[in-house]
Amino acid sequence: MKQVNAEVIIEAVRKHGFIIVPMIDVTNQSPPIMHTVGLTEKYGVPELVIAGIPPDFAVDVMEIAIDAVVERGSAFASREALPLPEGMPKDASPMRLIDALPSEIEAYGFVAAKLYYGERMSEIKFQQVLVPDNNDKMPWDEGFDEQGKPTQIMFWTEGAVKDLFPKPINDTHGFFTADETTH
């Protein structure tokens, strides 16, 4: 991973189109979180965030979501199912995107996106990628089972982030470029 500062982020997004930024909580109090930087500028689609999914799986999920959003060329409706990738079983549970509240994005930090977008950050839309449990339930469904996994932080619920994490998480430790994933 590359160290993050405004110049490095701007250059990486210019060169690769977008980056995926893992947010590292050195206190280990936060579940793993990743977000994109550059999708809005390059493709005119929302930036994506995923939380509470093991990092290796999260990168794969993000790639599927990025492909779907870029192919569509616009945001998905909140809670809309993503199309299943080619080769997935037809009975597989679809992932969903949900609109993230700007106040929750702000509360968590998203420093890399702030460094890139600067004063325009308040205009940037984020959508959260959500993964169903083994019973096809989403985090907002009654009976959703986290199955011992970290929590999928509810960036769509007012106050959810601040209740969990009173201080923003620093995400300036590094990022992945599109070339370092399967894109």
Which pLDDT value is given to residue 68? 93
Of 72, 73, 79, whose CA–CA distance to 96 is shortest?
79
Alpha carbons 79 and 104: distance in angstroms, whole number: 17
Which pLDDT value is given to residue 49? 93
Task: Quickly tell me which residue has 């299943």 as its tokens.
Answer: 84
Are 170 and 30 within 8 A, CB to CB?
no
Strand 126-130 to strand 176-177: parallel, antiparallel, or no bridges (unpaired)? Answer: unpaired
Using 50, 70 and 90 to split pLDDT, how confident is the model at 74?
very high
Using 50, 70 and 90 to split pLDDT, how confident is the model at 37?
very high
CA distances from 83 to 43, 75, 93 (A): 19, 13, 10
Looking at the predicted structure, is the pLDDT value of residue 54 above 60? yes
- pLDDT, one tens digit per residue, over 109-156 is 788 888 899 899 999 999 999 888 777 778 778 887 766 555 666 766
The H-assigned helical ranges of 21-126 are 39-43, 55-72, 102-108, 111-117
Tokens of 155: 């960036």
First CA to last CA across the chain, in angstroms? 16
**Residue 89 neighbours by CB under 8 Å, 6+ apart:** none
Alpha carbons 96 and 107: distance in angstroms, whole number: 23
Are 9 and 112 within 8 A, CB to CB?
yes
